[in-house]
Structure 1
Amino acid sequence: MKKFILLLTILATLSACGRFSNQDEKEANSERIVCLAKQYNEIIFALNAQQNLVAVDLSSTYPPAIKELPTVGYHRALSTEGILSMKPTIIIHDNNVGPEQVMQQMEKLEIPMKVFEAPGNDIPTTKALITEMGQYFDRAEEAVSLNAKIDREMAQAMESLKNYPTRPKVAIIHYGRASNIYLTMTSGSNAGKLIEWAGGEMAIDGERGMMQLSAEVIAQSNPDIILLTDFGYDRLNGMQEVKNLPGVSTTKAAQNNRIFRVEEHDMVYFGPRTGEIVMNLQELIHKNEGLQ
């Protein structure tokens, strides 16, 4: 009898070991993706390929479901500890990451990294990026559908542009203000292309995508419209406080109540929603036209 009980105990132990070994093997074989690029992350969700995404960078805020994932810090101010705490099996980024020593540490630890080849800085290369990512995540059909959506909505946007003959001058302030210095998007930014497609003209020229500008420069540019991104807008207590900002208060935009809140993630990269965003901007910047 004792031998029989001992045999059952041994068999139960072996069975348990086997079960836990299988679980360990399953966990070891599960891909854990940390993606540090907001453009990539939106496309991953649009492709319905987010199942193995375990963490993102702080600037990745679309779609809303992405906010349920842990963040590992701002993409240009990452920490080794934050990334490693997510136990990544691969890190996906767009080369706009840092600091350099953190990425070097990831390389020394031999954590695989992936950068997609298509730059995604205009409509053709954004579609190429979606195709490339669709192939990588085994979502080729979904990529075809997303690219068709971009073509369809951009065509609609260009057709609707015919309804807006004027070209209002638009200033886009990114992060609000610090000591009356404004981080402002320029005509050389992706936002500049969006405003052009929407039938507007950027108030600030420049080859660099963003520039820190004084209140005096904002006042001199005298935009018809000011778009304030969500981070800066939400820090202020309502429209009246926005209108009273130094350099803003004297502009046509403030005088005619043509200051609007926009989502930062809509303005800084191209993706599956770009045509939709352009059409929304068309309605926004041409609202109440004719005011002086």
Structure 2
Amino acid sequence: MKRGLIALLAAGTVALAGCGNTTESSAEAAPAASAPAASTAPAAQGLPVTVRSADGSSVEVKDASKIIPLTGDVAEIVFALGLADHVVGVDLSAAGLPEARQKPQVGYQRALAAEGILSLKPTVLLGTEEAGPPPVIEQLKAAGIPVVMVPSGSGGVDEVPAKIELIGKALGVPDKGAELAAKAKSEIDAARAKAAAAGAERPRVAFLYLRGQSNTYQIGGTGTRADAMIAAAGGEDAGTGAGVQGFKPVTAEAMVKAAPDHILVMKAGLESVGGVDGLLKLPGVAETPAGRNKRIVSLDDLELLGMGPRTGQAIDKLVTAFQAK
């Protein structure tokens, strides 16, 4: 491996990860704005429709003129489907998406408040199981708003196409959903083929979840989206190999045991600790092969862990970074 490789790939902000790998912005959520005027964009043609929500319920959606994605990964898919004009609010984790910058914020996905969401008069809400807290989701359902839950994708990259298709169907644009899902699948397949063609060598990669603002430094392992992405890119998750379930605090002992060849981080997390120099000051990091050689791979948060339209592109970048000599 080439010494001193630092892959700082793409720009972005807050991503959200499954099974505890949740990214939290340091910014404060903007207060909920009054409901915007109804969009003049063409209405969806596939409504009403009844879809099977990830929580096991059947949800009927009659109107998708005023959408609120409750999580950043869902927001990215909604925007990719061409429905930005129908989005009347987003959560804080979507703030880095260009289409979200002028949208009212409804709080952070795991700490939503029903009042702010209801004030925007949405006709449909969509989110993953990370949206909550659960009593707020129940309150929104009780208000009579259709709430469609979709898989986060933490089960692996093979879940991405179905996730996209479900969102497209729920919003009355099933053809666009199928087209976007097929494109995502094609890019994922191509990136995995590239990883397979790289040979039998499987570099050890540790994913570190970093939030310097709150002094949160964790190493990921089994059951996380990062684990799924590392595997898809032909790597071996060093945290998983060291017996980490979900996430555990970064300690010198944990890092030495993981002994990663590369350290994978989200861009916002890396910035929050002062870049590569700050990362190397965390317990045990400088003593790992990755730390000694400064093999740090950084991607945009939603691109890396969103399990959405850019998943194949992210895997391709990881393959390149992990295999560079």
Q: Please give the range of the TM-score, normalised by the shorter of the 2 chains.
A: 0.7 to 0.9
Match of 1:230 among 257, 267, 270: 267
How far apart, CA to CA, are the structure 2 residues paired with 1:155 and 1:219?
A: 33
1:155 Cα offset (Å): 2.8
Q: Secondary structure at the match of 2:286?
A: coil
Structure with a larger share of its residues in helix: 1
How far apart, CA to CA, are the structure 2 residues paired with 1:173 and 1:256?
A: 17
Identity in percent: 31
How far apart, CA to CA, are the structure 2 residues paired with 1:163 and 1:143?
A: 32
**Structure 1 residues not aligned, in runs of 5+:** 1-22
Q: Which residue of 1 is the match for residue 251 of structure 2?
A: 214
Match of 1:59 among 76, 89, 93: 93
The answer to whether the 8 A contact 2:141-2:147 is kept is no
How far apart, CA to CA, are the structure 2 residues paired with 1:287 and 1:245?
A: 25
The answer to whether the 8 A contact 2:208-2:219 is kept is yes
Which segment drifts farther, 274-283 or 119-128?
119-128
How far apart, CA to CA, are the structure 1 residues paired with 2:64 and 2:292?
A: 57
Residue 113 (str. 1) matches residue 146 (str. 2): yes
1:207 Cα offset (Å): 7.4
1:235 Cα offset (Å): 1.7
The answer to whether the 8 A contact 1:188-1:207 is kept is no
Q: Which residue of 2 is the match for residue 189 of structure 1?
A: 224
1:129-171 C-alpha deviation (Å, 9 max, x unpaired): 3222222323233223222212322232233221244211111
Which segment drifts farther, 260-269 or 278-287?
260-269
Change (3 A) 1:30 1:213: closer
Scaled by the length of structure 2, what TM-score is found? 0.71
Scaled by the length of structure 1, what TM-score is found? 0.78
Q: Secondary structure at the match of 1:51?
A: helix
1:80-130 C-alpha deviation (Å, 9 max, x unpaired): 33323323233222232222333343344x241322466644444432232
1:20-77 C-alpha deviation (Å, 9 max, x unpaired): xxx99x9xx9832221022221211111122211111112246432233222111111
Which residue identity does 2:238 align to in structure 1?
A
Q: Which residue of 2 is the match for residue 138 of structure 1?
A: 172
Name the count of aligned residue pairs: 262
Q: Secondary structure at the match of 1:182?
A: strand
Which residue identity does 1:84 align to in structure 2?
L
How far apart, CA to CA, are the structure 2 residues paired with 1:100 and 1:152?
A: 35
Q: Which residue of 2 is the match for residue 254 of structure 1?
A: 291
Specify which structure has the bigger relative contact order, considering alpha-carbon pairs within 8 angstroms and separated by 6 or more residues: 2
Match of 1:68 among 102, 108, 113: 102
Q: Which residue of 2 is the match for residue 83 of structure 1?
A: 117
The answer to whether the 8 A contact 1:190-1:209 is kept is no
How far apart, CA to CA, are the structure 2 residues paired with 1:79 and 1:259?
A: 37
**Structure 2 residues not aligned, in runs of 5+:** 1-36, 41-62
Match of 1:203 among 223, 238, 242: 238
Residue 271 (str. 1) matches residue 304 (str. 2): no
The answer to whether the 8 A contact 2:208-2:220 is kept is yes
How far apart, CA to CA, are the structure 1 residues paired with 2:71 and 2:264?
A: 24
RMSD: 2.8
Which residue identity does 1:131 align to in structure 2?
E
Counterparts of 1:153-192 in structure 2, within 5 Å, are 153-161=187-195, 162-176=197-211, 182-192=217-227
Residue 31 (str. 1) matches residue 31 (str. 2): no
Question: Which has the greater radius of gyration?
Answer: 1
Q: Secondary structure at the match of 2:131?
A: coil
The answer to whether the 8 A contact 2:165-2:174 is kept is yes
Q: Secondary structure at the match of 2:129?
A: coil
How far apart, CA to CA, are the structure 2 residues paired with 1:244 and 1:30?
A: 48
Which residue identity does 1:42 align to in structure 2?
E
How far apart, CA to CA, are the structure 2 residues paired with 1:69 and 1:283?
A: 35
Q: Secondary structure at the match of 2:309?
A: coil
Q: Secondary structure at the match of 2:101?
A: helix
